[in-house]
Structure 1
Amino acid sequence: MASTTITILCENRACEMMGITGEHGFSALVEKNGRKLLLDTGQGLTLGNNARALSVDLGSIDKVALSHGHLDHTGGLSELFFPQRNVEVVAHPDIFIPKYAEFMQGDTPVRYFIGIKNDRHFLEENRGLTFSLKREYEEIEPGIFFSGEVPRVTDYEKPDAHLKIKQGGEFIQDPLLDDSSLLIETDSGPVILTGCAHSGIVNVMEHFKEKSGHDSFYAVIGGTHLGFLGLGEQMNRTLEAFERFKLEKIAVSHCTGNEAAAICYNRFKEKFAFANAGWRITL
């Protein structure tokens, strides 16, 4: 098996390399078997700059996968494919549902649109994209598997109550069925690459275990959403699951949060890494 390289192009923080900038968002490049697959595109604020700093040719991207339909993971689609060219984008069908973040100011809910900023028609007609929308687990490149919908099987991984969708004129809890991740077979072992893991990172690992037959994973890389959900039972049970799945590398990004990252570092030490913009690993 040829080596696999994963490079973080967009993330909240920048590594120490000159020229890299941070944004609230996520994008990771997977290079495998001579092919280049991009998971997410960040907000579109730093993708081009960081790609140039890392000598990554965005024009050579063969395929894109989207982890879910939030702006901070999809905003770079317009930049990435201007001028337009025909590229397949793999995602869940719900990515185009209008999505909002809701916060209370006193007794009044205040909502912000956080969904994809361009509709499907615009992206197809003006950026040349072809959307392959999937609900099921599927191999989308040799040795790279798209999770599809992740069953919620744990009782301690809770949804983020701030995230809403508009349905029938009402704002309701977003079930985030579009939350998807990748499983990548590498020389070091299977690697899970996540955008935010809104499904719950343990649910993601359990899903890939059931679908792939792997009972351990070399690494989890990407966002875990632990930083938004408190540091109580969910955090403790997640750390136990990281040990149960025998992870050798826990490289956190984006929505993991400072406190959750610090707890992971203190538990796992040399197995821990910050997967910041500019971080790269070859497996």
Structure 2
Amino acid sequence: MEKTKITVVCENQAGATIGVMGEHGFSALIEKNNEKILMDTGQGLTLKANANALKINLSEIRKIVLSHGHFDHTGGLADLMPPKGIIDVYAHPDIFAPKYARHEYENKKEEVFIGNRFSREYLESNLNARFHFKTEFSEISDGIFFSGVIPRQTDFEQPDKRLLVKEGSSFIQDPLHDDASLLIETSSGPVILTGCAHSGIVNIMNHFSKKTGYKSFYAVIGGTHLGFLNSDKQLKKTMDAFEQYNLNLIGVSHCTGNEAAAACYDRFKDKFAFANAGWSAWF
């Protein structure tokens, strides 16, 4: 099997590569099967600049995976315009849902729009996007699998109650059915790539294990949403699951948070990596 390369293009913090900048968001490039697949696009502040610094030609992108419909994962779509041809976009249909976050300060509550600012029609017209809406586990390229909707089955991974979706004039908790991840088969073993892991990173690993039969994974890379813990128990049980799945690499990003990332480093040492903007690995 040929080698697979994963590069973090956008992330909250920048690595040491000259010219790479940080932003609150996530984007990663997968190079496999002689094609380049971009998972997420950040919020649109650093994608172009970081791609240039990392010598990534965005015009070569022909496949995009959107992990969910938040602005910090979809905002850079405009940086891929104008394309040289059709771009296939794989995502759950809820990426266009009106998503909000509730902020509380000084005894006040405010709902702030945090969704995808581009409509499907706009992206089809200006990005030449060809959408492949998926809700089920499916193979999108040889050895690359889209999760589909991930069952929430653990009792310690709870939804972020700040995250809402607007229905009419009311706000309800966003079920985030559009939260999707990828499983990538590599010469080192299966690698899981996440955007934010709103479904719960343990639920994600369990889901891929059930769908593929894998009892262990080589790596988990990306956001884990451990920066928004509901309890200390969640972090411990998550790290226990990392051990149970025999991970060789835990490359956390974005919404993992500094405290959870530090705890993971303290436990896993040389198996841990800060997958910041500019970080890359071959598998």
TM-score scaled by length of structure 1? 0.98
> After the TM superposition, which residues 141-160 of structure 1 pair with which residues of structure 2 at under 5 Å, given as runs?
141-160=141-160
1:75 partner SS: helix
**How far apart are the structure 1 equivalents of 2:62 and 2:125?**
19
1:141-192, Cα deviation, whole Å (9 max, x unpaired): 0010000000001010010011000013210100100000000000000000
Map 1:28-43; keep pairs closer than 5 Å. Answer: 28-43=28-43
Give 1:241 deviation, angstroms.
0.3
- Residues 116-153 of structure 1: CA deviation (Å, up to 9, x unaligned): 11111111112211111000000000010000000001
For 2:102, what is the secondary structure of its paired residue?
strand
Structure 2 residue 208 is the aligned partner of structure 1 residue 215: no
Where does residue 234 of structure 1 map in the other structure?
Answer: 234
Decide whether the 8 Å contact of 1:8 with 1:278 is kept in 2. yes
**Do 1:84 and 1:126's aligned partners in 2 also have CA atoms closer than 8 Å?**
no
CA distance in 2, matches of 1:80, 1:31: 17
Counting only pairs closer than 5 Å after superposition, residues 94-173 of structure 1 correspond to structure 2 as 94-173=94-173
- Alpha-carbon distance between aligned partners in 2 of 1:126 and 1:47, rounded to the nearest angstrom: 18
Residue 91 of structure 1, CA deviation: 0.1
| Alpha carbons 1:43, 1:76 under 8 Å: kept | yes
The one-letter code sitting in structure 2 at the alignment partner of 1:228 is: F
Gaps of 5+ in 2: none
Paired position in structure 1 for 2:273: 273
Equivalence for 1:27: 27
Q: Which amino acid aligns with 1:260?
A: A
Counterpart AA for 1:31:
E
Aligned-residue offset at 1:84: 6.3
Matched length: 283
- Structure 2 match to 1:198: 198
CA offset digits 1:19-74 (Å, max 9, x no partner): 10000000000000101100000011100000011110000012000000000000
RMSD: 1.0
1:85 Cα offset (Å): 3.3
The CA distance in 1 between the partners of 2:65 and 2:57, in whole Å, is: 17
Kept in 2: contact 1:227–1:256 (CA 8 A): yes
Distance in 1 (CA, whole Å) between partners of 2:84 and 2:78 is: 9
Partner of 2:46: 46
Letter in 1 for 2:25: G
After the TM superposition, which of the residue ranges 224-233 and 39-48 deviates more from structure 2?
A: 224-233
- Tell me if the contact between 1:147 and 1:182 (Cα under 8 Å) persists in the aligned partners: yes
TM-score norm. by structure 2 comes to 0.98
- Give every structure 1 segment of 4 or more consecutive aligned residues whose post-TM-superposition deviation is greater than 4 Å: none
Cα distance change, pair 84–123 in 1 and its aligned pair in 2 (3 A): farther
**In structure 2, C-alpha distance between the alignment counterparts of 1:8 and 1:144, rounded to whole Å:** 17
How far off its partner does 1:83 sit?
Answer: 4.7
Partner of 1:183: 183
Task: Tell me the residue number matched to 2:85.
Answer: 85
SS class of match (2:126): helix
- 8 Å CA contact 2:12, 2:254 repeated in 1: yes
**8 Å contact from structure 1 (residues 85, 129) kept in 2:** no
Contact 1:38 1:64 in 2 (8 A): yes
Q: Which moved more, 1:206-215 or 1:227-236?
A: 227-236
In structure 1, what is the Cα distance between the partners aligned to 2:12 and 2:253?
8
- 2:36 counterpart SS class: strand
